[in-house]
Amino acid sequence: MSEISFDDFLKVDIRVGKVTRAEPYPEARKPAIKMWIDFGGEIGERKTSAQITAHYDPSTLVGKQVMAVVNFPPRQIGKFMSEVLVLGLPDKDGEIVLIGPDHPVPLGGRMH
């Protein structure tokens, strides 16, 4: 594990957003879901795709608060432009479980 400085950590802008829309992404190489996430006034709505189909269905994601890195450059994922990176952890089988607050918090809040 390599060390980083606290200043390096502060450069990563991790915010909370709410999934406003989600749909399957069958064109992806691995099964994925496209999501549109509202981060509130300063950032607005951004989109992403994630390989989270083992634990999530698009219909269950709408309204869910999730954490995401919002200051990476956009990345082309197939025909879809991903604008943020949602955060998650692998379960015992390596399938991703999303990270989010366990109580509702204001959209756009930055992780401390």
For 7-27, write each residue's pLDDT tens digit: 999 999 999 999 999 999 988
Tell me whether strands 14-24 and 33-38 are parallel, antiparallel or unpaired: antiparallel
The predicted model scores a pTM of: 0.94
pLDDT digits 0-9 by tens, 67-110: 999 999 999 988 899 999 999 999 999 999 999 999 999 999 99
Q: Which two tokens stand for residue 18?
A: 């709410």
- Domains in the chain and their CATH numbers? 13-98 (2.40.50.140)
